[in-house]
Amino acid sequence: MARPDHPLMTTPLLPQELLTLALDHERQEMHRYRRLAFLFLTFGRGISPLMAVLGVESEKRLAELHRVACDLDPAPSTGEPPVATSPAPGEMLHPIHHRGQAVAMLKRAEAQAEHALRVTEHLQRRNVIPALASLLPGQLAQKQAERHILQELIAAYDGEFARDGQLASRPWPRGWLSGARRLHRLPAD
């Protein structure tokens, strides 16, 4: 909410509001990366383990935020609020099998990572908690790295000249793609 005397100057959030927003946002990020790891399991391209690692990093950030919350308010809480783990409307619910689906999902994930970066920047600007002052810049750097990783994945899989484009678009059984790559590079007799 803007102050009437300075329309560009915003009032800071209360510490508990800021922590609640940060915790909820990071919890949603963790569930989103876990869902992506599951959806990419059948694609067989190493993207699923990468999404799982991004989910683990999000879980670590969530633990840091919980630690700060406990330091500020050591009273026992009644538990975490329920989180809707269902995907957003229009989001794929089935595993990814071909490159077109993978690129579409990666582009959506990159847009969501951009949004997460903006939310973290906003939380950092509105922060009045000294304990978060050292934590949020590190989280912001991690969010920037996540977005960059997703951009590189999109560049690797998007377009007709994408590396292994023909191989990635086939529904190869799990583990066969590395062998197919080796066979693909062998000279023809």
Q: What are the tens digits of pLDDT across the range 112-139?
A: 999 999 999 999 998 888 888 889 999 9
- Number of domains forming the structure of the chain: 1
| Beta bridge partner(s), residue 10 | 2
Least confident residue range of 9-23, 138-152, 174-188: 174-188
Range of the domain at 123: 15-72+92-172
Model pTM score: 0.72
The arithmetic mean of pLDDT across residues 154-158, rounded, is 86
Q: Which pLDDT band, with edges at 50, 70 and 90, does 53 fall under?
A: very high
Tell me, yes or no, whether 83 lies in a domain: no
Evaluate the CA torsion angle 62, 63, 66, 72 in order and state its sign: negative
Tell me, yes or no, whether 4 lies in a domain: no
Tell me, yes or no, whether 28 lies in a domain: yes
Q: What are the tens digits of pLDDT across the range 62-117?
A: 999 999 999 887 664 545 554 545 555 555 568 888 888 999 999 999 999 999 99
Are 65 and 19 in contact by the 8 Å Cβ rule? The answer is yes
Tell me, yes or no, whether 50 lies in a domain: yes
CATH number at residue 153: 1.20.1260
